[in-house]
Amino acid sequence: MTSAHVTLNSTLPVDELARTTDGTSARDRFAELLAAHWDRAYRFAYHLTGNAADSDDLIQQAAEEAFRAFHRFQPGTRFDRWFFRIMHNSFVDRIRRDRRRKIFSLDEVTGVVTSDAADPSAIAEGALDGPVLRALRALPPDPRAVIALVDLLGLPYDDAAEILHCPVGTVRSRLHRARLALREWLRPYVDAMKRGDL
Amino acid sequence: MPHLTDQLSAYLDGTLTPEEAAAVASHLAECAECRGTLDDLQAVRNLLRTVPDRAPHPSLLPRTLARVGAAAHRKVAPRWMIAAAGAAVGLALLLQVRLLPAPHTDRAAGIWYFQQHAVFAAAHPMTDVALASYLSSVLPYEVLREWSATPQNP
Ligand SMILES: [Zn+2]
């Protein structure tokens, strides 16, 4: 910020001045941080929502909320965790608002997953993510978020706990229950994986 | 001894303390069922690792940043106005509590009140609307009419 810039803006009301000087540079800093973590943030959004349209909406909404709260972000702390947490909050709010969002029962999921291919060893290489993604989408939101952070994005438990705003022990138990549910839903693929057929 | 539960996932992920891990290992050495569960969990984790990365559309980031900028500009004016309106309401309440003789139903008090109001309105135009609406709701009609006809009224 040059002194000439301050002089030019000094005729504005105080609130306006604060917005102009802070707003511009804060937006640049925000854009830089968001771009650095964009791809991983998108993967989290995608696995939370389960489809491209909703993940686009979610990450855009989260970006707007994060920018409004950006003055509370402490430089030097992890932007990705901070942003993931905001995005997860947005996601939870969405689910609460959208009561029409359907959460499949275990029986329905079993049907969906196993009808895809009776013989898992016969499915083509690269086609496996179909049933796995469907099983992921069938998990309730909380365990799905833990699986996304720990198993898909590779974050440590304590990062996941910070993002999901819960104790590490809760992350651990949710993760375990989610893996057990996926084991049941994906039983033929799990067995094939153990035999080394996948 | 009960079977292992979420210690198994933590063991698989290597997040247990050395003591906890040793306890899990000694249970596993004696329990085929928990060994089977651990194998299953490992297979699930490997299955999840086959899920391919999803890349965002290249235009999504620039579109999002454009929206962030637009939203920031949309937000500023209303927030400023809301703050001013809030200050006006606070001022109106303060005036009532601190400056007004109570009760103020007689004409002289009402006129005095409006003189105070005029001073504040001149100094703080943003507070005027809120204060005027507040006054019109608390003062008797004849006082309002009298004040409306007063020449020095702004
Ligand atoms: Zn056991």
Q: Is the pLDDT of residue B138 over 90?
A: no
ipTM score for this prediction: 0.76
Helices (H), chain A: 3-9, 14-36, 38-49, 52-68, 79-97, 106-114, 129-138, 141-147, 157-164, 168-185, 187-195
Q: Report CB contact under 8 Å: B6, A173.
A: yes
Task: Give the number of other Cβ atoms within 10 Å of residue A116's Cβ.
Answer: 16
CA gap B38, B8 in Å, rounded: 6
- Burial class of residue A179 in the structure, from the number of CB atoms within 10 Å of its CB (0-12 exposed, 13-18 middle, 19+ buried): buried
Check B51 against A42: CB less than 8 A apart.
no
Dihedral sign (CA A73, A77, A83, A85): negative
**Contact yes or no for A159/A167 (Cβ under 8 A):** no
Q: Which chain B residue lies closest to A65 (C-alpha atoms)?
A: B68
pTM of the complete model: 0.66
Name the residue in chain A with its Cα closest to that of B68: A64
Compute the distance between CA of residue A54 and CA of residue B107 in angstroms, rounded to an integer. Answer: 63
Name residue A11's amino acid: T
- DSSP for A79-128? HHHHHHHHHHHHHHHHHHH-TT-----HHHHHHHHHTS-S-GGGSPTT-T
Q: Are residues A136 and A110 in the same domain?
A: no
Q: Is B9 in Cβ contact with A179 (below 8 Å)?
A: yes
Question: Which CATH number do you get for residue A116?
Answer: 1.10.1740.10
Give me ligand 1 centre to Cα A195, in Å: 22
B65/A175 CB distance under 8 A: no
Q: Mean pLDDT for chain A?
A: 81
Residues 6+ apart with CB under 8 A from B12: B38, B41, B42, B45
Do A64 and A119 belong together in one domain? yes
CA distance A182 to A190: 9
pLDDT at B48: 94
List of chain B residues whose C-beta atoms are within 8 Å of the C-beta of residue A133: 51
DSSP B64-120: HHHHHHHHHHHHHHHHHHHHHHHHHHHHHHHIIIII--SS--SHHHHHHHHHHHHHH
CATH number for the domain harbouring residue A159: 1.10.10.10
Check: CB of residue A188 under 8 Å from CB of residue B17.
Answer: no
Residue A104 DSSP label: -
Together in a domain, A24 and A108 = yes
Predicted local distance difference test score (pLDDT) of residue A198: 78
Chain A: closest CA distance from residue B26 (Å): 20
Boundary-marking domain end, from A126, A158, A187:
A126
* Amino acid letter for position A82: W
Same domain as A187, residue A131 = yes
How far is residue A59's CA from residue A46's CA, in Å, rounded to a whole number?
9
- Residue identified by tokens 């050495």 is B29
Both structure tokens of A29: 């800093």
How many domains are there within chain A?
2
Q: Are A113 and A189 members of one domain?
A: no
The model's pLDDT over B49-108, given as tens digits with 9 standing for 90+, comes to 988 888 999 999 999 999 987 766 654 545 555 566 667 656 655 555 555 444 445 555
Residue of B nearest to A69 (CA): B72
What is the domain range of residue A109? 12-126
Does one domain contain both A116 and A157?
no
Of the three residues A107, A126, A145, the one that is the final residue of a domain is A126
- When computed from its CA atoms, the radius of gyration of chain B, rounded to whole angstroms, is 36
A102 pLDDT exceeds 70?
A: no
Give contacts of B56 with chain A, Cβ < 8 Å. Answer: 38-39, 42, 56, 59
What are the pLDDT digits (tens) for A32-78? 999 999 999 999 999 999 889 999 999 999 999 999 999 999 988 99
Nearest to B56 among A15, A16, A38 (CB): A38
Q: How far is the CA of B45 from the centre of ligand 1 (A)?
A: 20
Residue B44 is nearest to which of A19, A63, A190, comparing CB atoms? A190
User: Domain residue spans in chain B?
Assistant: 6-48, 79-146
Which chain B residue lies closest to A42 (C-alpha atoms)? B56
Amino acid type, B58: P
What CA–CA distance (Å, rounded) separates A76 from A149? 22
| Distance, CA of B105 to chain centre | 40
Give CA B39 to chain center in angstroms.
Answer: 46
Residue A167 in domain: yes
Whether residue A140 is found in the same domain as residue A113: no
Measured CA to CA, the distance from residue A170 to residue A158 in angstroms comes to: 10
Cis peptide bond upstream of A131, omega within 30: no
- Rg value, chain A, Cα: 22
Instruction: Encode pLDDT of A124-165 as tens digits.
Output: 444 566 899 999 999 999 999 999 999 999 999 999 999 999
- Of A69, A101, A126, which residue constitutes the final position of a domain? A126
